[in-house]
Amino acid sequence: MPQCCINPSILSADFVNLEAELQRISNADSVHVDVMDNQFVPNLTIGLPVVQRIQAVSPVPLDVHLMIADADRWAPGYADAGVASVTFHAEASIAPVKLARELRARGSKAGMALRPATPVEPFLDMLPELDMLLIMTVEPGFGGQAFLDLTLPKIRRARAAIEGSGVNVALQVDGGITEDTILRAAEAGANVFVAGSAVYGAADPSEAIDRLRKAGTV
Residue of 34, 37, 63, 131 marked active site: 34
Question: Rounded to an integer, what distance in angstroms lies between the CA atom of residue 127 and that of residue 97?
Answer: 10
The pLDDT of residue 2 is 64
Known catalytic residue at 37: no
Residue of 29, 37, 131, 174 marked active site: 174
Closest by alpha carbon to 110, among 136, 85, 73?
85
Radius of gyration of the chain (CA): 16
The pLDDT of residue 218 is 82
Question: Rounded to an integer, what distance in angstroms lies between the CA atom of residue 143 and that of residue 129?
Answer: 29
For the full predicted model, state whether its pTM sits above 0.75.
yes
Give the bridge partners for 194, in sequence order: 7, 174
What percent of the chain shows pLDDT beyond 70? Answer: 99
The 8-class DSSP code of residue 209 comes to H
Sign of the dihedral through C-alpha 167, 133, 153, 8: positive
The pLDDT of residue 143 is 77
SS3 144: coil
